[in-house]
C-alpha cells in the first residue's frame, strides 16, 4: 500500500476527487483563471475569437490585437436580427473597416493534419502555421508578435526592436509607433490599445464633421456664384453696349455731315452742327507750311485749268 516505514498517508493523497473540466478557449482577459497555459495559447493563436473555429485564411485582426476569421466577422456584421448575441470579443467592431486583413508568412516546416489521419501520431502544439519573415520565430504564443495597421504585415516584436526602421520590412510602407498593434497582448497592452483606438475614432469623427462643413460652404459658394452673371454674359452685355454706342456715333456723324453746308466748310467764322466754330488747317498760324502741304486744302495741292488735261479722273486731288 506504500505505507512502509510508518508513514501515515492523508485522505486527499489516496482518494482522488472528480477531475476539473477545463475551458478549451479563453480570451486574453481570462489569464488569471486556473486554466492550462497550453490550452489558453492554443485558444488564442489557433482559433477564431468570435466563432471558436480554427483560423483559416483570410485572417483579420481588430485594433485590440485579437484574431478572427474574416467570414465570421462578415456574418456577425450582417446579422441584424433582434436575438443577436453580443459577444464581448467583437463588441467594439462596428464595420469591416475596424478590422485589418493580416499578411502572414507560412511556416515551411508545418505539415498540418496530413500526417495525423489515423490518430497514432503525436500532435505538436508548439508547431505553428505562420512564422516571422525576419527572425524566423514561430507564431505559437511563446513570443510576442505585432502587426502594422497600415499594411497588415505581421512580425515578431524582436524583429521590430532589433531592426529599427520607419518602413515595413516586407512591403516598404512607412509607419509610426502608434501603428504597431500587439497580437494577443496582456491586459496592459489591451488598455493602451483601447486608448489609441478611442483617440483614433475621435479624430476620424472630427475629420468627417470638418469635411461636411467644408462641403456645405462649397455648396453655398457655388449657389452664390450661380446667381452672379458669368463672364460670357458680361462680355455679351459689353458687346451690346459697344454696338449701341457705335450706332449712336454713326448716327450723330451722319447728322453732322448732312447739316453742314459748303459755305460752312470754308472760313474761320463757320460753325458745325454743334455750334462751335470750325478752323481749317490752312488758316492756322501755329502749323508750318510743310505740315500744311500734306492736306488737300493747301494751295500747292490745287491745280489750275491750264495744268489740267482734257480728260480727267475724279480723285480726291481734283478741284
Taking only the tens place, the pLDDT of each residue in 35-76 is 577 788 888 899 999 888 999 989 999 999 999 999 999 999
Residue 155, pLDDT above cutoff 90: yes
Looking at the chain, the whole-number percentage of residues with pLDDT higher than 90 is 21
**Strand arrangement, sheet containing 99-101:** 67-69, 59-62, 99-101
Query: pLDDT at position 295, please?
Result: 75
Query: pLDDT at position 276, please?
Result: 55
Looking at the chain, the whole-number percentage of residues with pLDDT higher than 70 is 61
Cα(91)–Cα(84) distance, integer angstroms: 12
Relative to beta strand 145-148, strand 105-106 is unpaired
Sketch the domain layout of the chain as residue ranges. 19-112+123-205
CB atoms within 10 A of CB 168: 18
Residues forming a β-bridge with 130: 106
User: How is residue 206 written as a grid cell?
Assistant: 472630427
Q: pLDDT confidence of 91, banded at 50, 70, 90?
A: confident
DSSP code, position 135: T
DSSP state string for 215-273:
HHHHHHHHHHHHHSPPHHHHHHHHHHHHHHHHHHHHHHHHHHHHH--TTTTSSTT-B-T
- Stronger pLDDT, 266 or 38, i.e. the higher one: 38
Burial class (CB in 10 A: 0-12, 13-18, 19+), 46: middle
pTM of the model: 0.55
Query: pLDDT at position 109, please?
Result: 84
Query: pLDDT at position 62, please?
Result: 92
Residue 260, pLDDT above cutoff 60: no
Query: pLDDT at position 291, please?
Result: 79
Cα(141)–Cα(40) distance, integer angstroms: 9
Q: How far is CA 257 from CA 211, 261, 267, in A?
A: 68, 9, 17
Q: Which of 10-14, 28-32, 82-86 has the highest mean pLDDT?
A: 10-14
Amino acid at each position: 500500500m506504500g505505507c512502509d516505514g510508518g508513514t501515515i498517508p492523508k485522505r486527499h493523497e489516496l482518494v482522488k476527487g472528480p477531475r476539473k473540466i477545463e475551458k478549451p478557449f479563453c480570451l486574453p482577459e481570462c489569464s488569471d483563471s486556473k486554466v492550462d497555459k497550453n490550452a489558453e495559447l492554443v485558444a488564442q493563436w489557433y482559433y477564431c475569437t468570435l466563432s471558436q473555429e480554427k483560423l483559416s485564411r483570410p485572417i483579420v485582426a481588430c485594433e485590440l490585437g485579437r484574431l478572427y476569421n474574416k467570414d465570421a466577422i462578415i456574418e456577425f456584421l450582417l446579422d441584424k436580427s433582434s436575438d443577436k448575441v453580443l459577444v464581448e470579443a467583437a463588441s467594439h467592431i462596428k464595420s469591416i473597416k475596424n478590422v485589418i486583413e493580416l499578411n502572414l508568412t507560412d511556416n515551411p516546416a508545418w505539415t498540418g493534419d496530413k500526417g495525423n489521419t489515423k490518430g497514432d501520431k503525436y500532435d505538436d502544439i508548439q508547431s505553428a502555421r505562420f512564422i516571422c519573415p525576419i527572425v524566423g520565430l514561430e507564431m505559437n504564443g511563446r513570443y510576442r508578435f505585432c502587426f502594422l495597421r497600415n499594411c497588415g504585415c505581421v512580425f515578431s516584436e524582436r524583429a521590430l526592436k532589433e531592426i529599427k526602421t520607419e518602413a515595413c520590412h516586407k512591403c516598404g510602407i512607412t509607419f509610426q509607433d502608434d501603428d504597431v498593434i500587439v497580437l494577443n497582448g496582456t491586459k496592459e497592452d489591451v488598455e493602451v490599445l483601447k486608448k489609441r483606438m478611442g483617440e483614433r475614432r475621435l479624430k476620424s469623427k472630427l475629420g468627417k464633421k470638418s469635411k461636411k462643413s467644408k462641403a456645405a460652404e462649397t455648396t453655398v459658394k457655388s449657389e452664390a456664384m450661380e446667381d452672379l452673371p458669368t463672364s460670357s454674359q458680361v462680355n455679351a452685355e459689353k458687346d451690346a453696349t459697344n454696338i449701341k454706342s457705335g450706332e449712336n456715333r454713326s448716327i450723330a456723324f451722319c447728322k453732322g455731315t448732312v447739316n453742314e453746308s459748303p459755305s460752312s466748310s470754308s472760313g474761320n467764322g463757320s460753325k458745325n452742327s454743334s455750334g462751335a466754330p470750325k478752323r481749317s488747317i490752312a488758316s492756322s498760324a501755329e502749323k508750318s507750311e510743310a505740315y500744311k502741304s500734306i492736306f488737300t486744302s493747301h494751295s500747292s495741292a490745287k491745280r489750275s485749268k491750264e495744268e489740267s488735261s482734257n480728260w480727267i479722273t475724279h480723285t480726291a486731288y481734283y478741284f
